[in-house]
Amino acid sequence: MKKNLLIPTLLVSALLTACGASDSDSNSNSDNKPAAQNASPESASLEVSNIQVGPRPYFLIDDLATDNQKSLALKSKLESCSEMPFKKTDFSIGHRGAAMQFPEHTKESYVAAARMGAGIIECDVTFTNDKELVCRHSQCDLHTTTNILATNLADKCSTPFSPSDGNNPASAKCCTSDISLAEFKTLKGKMDGANTSATTVAEYLKGTADWRTDGYASRGTLMTHKESIELFKQLNVKMTPELKSAAVAMPFDGFSQQDYARKMMSEYEDANVPAKNVFPQSFNRDDVLFWISENPTFGEQAVFLDERMDDPNFVASAEDMNNLFANGVRYVAPPLWALVDLDSDQQLIESNYAILAKAAGLKIITWTLERSGPLENHGGWYYQTIREATNSDSDMLLLLDFLAQTVKVEGVFSDWAGTVSYYASCMNLK
């Protein structure tokens, strides 16, 4: 997803890992026979059979208000599921893996999301200077999401590190397109963040927000797009790659936008991934239409990430939604706030966008739960249309329930899949 806002978390040390069995304990073959003794970790199954949602959903449920009927009813329902076995669910989409607590777009983050029940996991796709596809939220975020500035690759960054001088913040800009795939693979992922008051690289890299943790950042294994596909196959989860906007002029050394979009899809075909298991995404409508036209089998589940409501002049219309459908688009994915509004009594209601999209036959996915700032301050960007009704972290459960039961969304991206997986399991969602 596009917005890169900081998020709160309940810092409960190791309990927040929500990790069930270790990789070695959870390995199994599809025929339930033990893996061969000489099988490599890469060939062994990593599918999780015992979903562990961790303590955070329970914390949020405990915090639900009891002084109004809707909140009390939801609290009672969710509490009734507290001891049930939880399940993997496509309703729960791992946003960059489990980015609340693990370095985003790393193997460790992806595995954590799967262990918490995410049935679909996201790899944001960009490219290196030798045009190989890798998993990063942005082409130019290596300076905040990896250790590149502490390595000899720092000299290759688009903009070298500049310390704060007291008046100007510390800065840097390091892009995947600055380095080769082989060089990319030498880096280690870290929690996204930077200390802009830093006077040294070491200080700059220590930018993790105080409501996050570096407790699970001791290893952050970066992944190519191909590697993410193989990992997701081992985890037996579906895949939602997002073709990220290029930060360099396209075509890049003869590599056109269509080449880029085509290469991403071809890596699923080459890996023999069924089209039903892939939900390709882009904020660029032309990318979505290209997939629909060139590869309709995979294009059938192409997702148009819709951020047009950021433009104050944008007004959703039946004509626009019908046009999307007529052009083959079947999934739209706007941010949380675009689907909800408040009535005169400060109660949640569907937005005009949600009503019109469904009327046109479009399926809706939304983003991103567990990514906003502390909701006691009304939740920031992701809650902007319902600020007056957002006063505590538990209010995200009321929003999640409304999105599922009233808006009827197909799935919800989350930085901490356990929350959505708990809800979906309790409500018996797919």
Q: pLDDT by residue (tens digit) across 9-32?
A: 333 333 334 333 333 333 333 333
Q: What is the pLDDT of residue 374?
A: 85
Cβ atoms of residues 228 and 135 within 8 Å: yes
Cβ atoms of residues 353 and 385 within 8 Å: no
Sites in the chain below the pLDDT cut of 50: 4-43
Q: What is the pLDDT of residue 44?
A: 65
Alpha-carbon torsion, ordered 14, 15, 16, 19, to 10 deg: 90
CA distance 188 to 102: 12
Fold classification of 18-24+42-123+223-426 (topology level): TIM Barrel (3.20.20)
Q: What is the pLDDT of residue 377?
A: 84
The CA-atom distances, in angstroms, between 209 and each of 161, 196, 248, 422 are 20, 12, 29, 26
State pTM to two decimals.
Answer: 0.90
CA distance 379 to 395: 9
The phi and psi torsions of 421 (rounded to 5 degrees) equal -65, -40
Domain boundaries along the sequence of the chain: 18-24+42-123+223-426, 141-221
Q: What is the pLDDT of residue 379?
A: 87
Closest to 333 in 3D by CA, of 120, 101, 103, 106:
120
